[in-house]
Structure 1
Amino acid sequence: MSAGRPAGLPCDTRRPEEPVVSDTPADDHRAVAARFTRTVRGADPARWDDPAPCEGWVARDVVRHLVEWFPAFLRSGAGLSLPAGPSVDEDPVAAWVVHSDGVQTLLDDPATADLVVKNPHLGEMSVAQATAMVYTSDVFLHTWDLARATGQDERLDPDRCAGMLAGMLPMDEVLRGSGHYGPRVPVPDDADPQTALLSFIGRRV
């Protein structure tokens, strides 16, 4: 079993800038989480302890990161609790599904989506806005990590990749100094959007 890894290290890809959304924060999360869910469900059970692109992580740690940091964020900032699933070590698929369904339920209900989250780094905003800003994009980026670790389709939406990179480039120094990213990996000027984005956040593709 893997020991896990705390949030806030170079593979913590949360980003404090405007999200690329498909429609509403709820719809955007639904689409991005569905892709991650397919990757989780498609993982060969024998590969959950295979190395992931994040240094020191194995595949299940990618899921662990997501199901641990965001509930803590909601609990401390808005007093909200997400349903508790099994541990990632016991059943990473069920752990993810319970967590992701819980997030979607919060976003689909205006009574919770419109609650205010207070965070020392982000200020005050609605649960829906905060989810779109720092969590949904994290799920999107970690889809590649899990796919790479488990030998699945690694392709990401190129338009979203391009939009995210455009939003992150002006904040390069700030983001790099946060400790959430590894060193930027040089790529050719004509690199495709996915390669450019992943290299920007420190992945070697």
Structure 2
Amino acid sequence: MNEIADVYRRRADAFEAKVAAVRPEQWADPSPCAQWTARDVVEHIVDMHAVMLSPVGRGLSPAPSVKEDPLAAFRAARADVEALLSDPAAANTECDTPSGRMTAARHVNEVVSADLPLHGWDLAKATGQEATIDPEDVRLSWESVSGLPPELLEKFRTPGAFGPGIEVFGREVPVAPEAPLQDRLLGLIGRDPGWRRP
């Protein structure tokens, strides 16, 4: 439990630093995620925090919306998830998820915690920040995604398979086999590693 919480906290710290570095005029800038602005990336992450809380009967605490204050919205959402992870009864609660039955803590670890470095890359690329993902997070994500059965990977690429408007991965972007692991990971989940702001 402590390990899951520590990893989540490290990733949330890194994502929060990127949110804090966005200039006000950059929030409407496009991101590597088709149809998403920089603000939309943060909104997705905050929304996914709510999804993590729902199976244990919790929700996001009252806070400014992402439209009002992206940084305050993310800080409030992460505090809610950290409170869940620090409560053994809630963290160990078994819940049904699209990937099967698991504890709430494991759900956080496999979904929103794993998403933070990847969407941190999206936000960094959208706003001209340093976009190198922590090598350990790259390795863990690569092992997780590259090890998925083909049918599940295809489901992750199918818009709406996990609910209206939800698309977990985009179509794979071809990347040279000798490319850095970060680039190969990004290509596998449907990102163009060479994406540049317009």
Q: Give the TM-score normalised by the residue count of structure 2.
A: 0.85
Aligned residue in 1 for 2:57: 79
**Cα deviation code 1:133-186 (max 9, x no counterpart):** 111001121000000111111010123212321221132632233322111111
Runs of 5+ in structure 2 lacking a partner?
Answer: 159-167, 194-198
- Report if aligned partners of 2:52, 2:112 keep a CA contact under 8 Å in 1: no
User: Judging changes above 3 Å, is the alpha-carbon distance between structure 1 residues 112 and 177 closer, same or farther for their aligned structure 2 residues?
Assistant: closer
User: Judging changes above 3 Å, is the alpha-carbon distance between structure 1 residues 64 and 27 closer, same or farther for their aligned structure 2 residues?
Assistant: same
User: Which amino acid in the other structure matches residue 40 of structure 2?
Assistant: D
Q: CA deviation at 1:124?
A: 2.5
Aligned residue in 1 for 2:83: 105
Aligned residue in 1 for 2:19: 40
**Cα deviation code 1:39-95 (max 9, x no counterpart):** 0001111101100111111000001111113313431x2212231321111111111
Aligned residue in 1 for 2:29: 50
Aligned residue in 2 for 1:6: none
The answer to whether residue 80 in structure 2 is matched with residue 92 in structure 1 is: no
Tell which has more relative contact order, 1 or 2 (C-alpha 8 A, sep 6+): 1
**Residue range with higher mean Cα deviation, 84-93 or 105-114:** 105-114
Mapping of 1:2-41 within 5 angstroms?
24-41=3-20
* RMSD (CA atoms): 1.8
User: Judging changes above 3 Å, is the alpha-carbon distance between structure 1 residues 122 and 184 closer, same or farther for their aligned structure 2 residues?
Assistant: closer
User: Which amino acid in the other structure matches residue 62 of structure 1?
Assistant: V
Q: Give the TM-score normalised by the residue count of structure 1.
A: 0.82
Aligned length: 182
Aligned residue in 2 for 1:59: 38
1:115 to 85, 93, 102: 93
User: Judging changes above 3 Å, is the alpha-carbon distance between structure 1 residues 129 and 141 closer, same or farther for their aligned structure 2 residues?
Assistant: same
For residues 85 and 150 of structure 1, the distance between their equivalents in structure 2, rounded to whole angstroms, comes to 24
Runs of 5+ in structure 1 lacking a partner?
Answer: 1-20
Aligned residue in 2 for 1:192: 180
For residues 172 and 202 of structure 1, the distance between their equivalents in structure 2, rounded to whole angstroms, comes to 17
Question: Partner of 1:171: helix, strand, or coil?
Answer: coil
Aligned residue in 1 for 2:153: 175
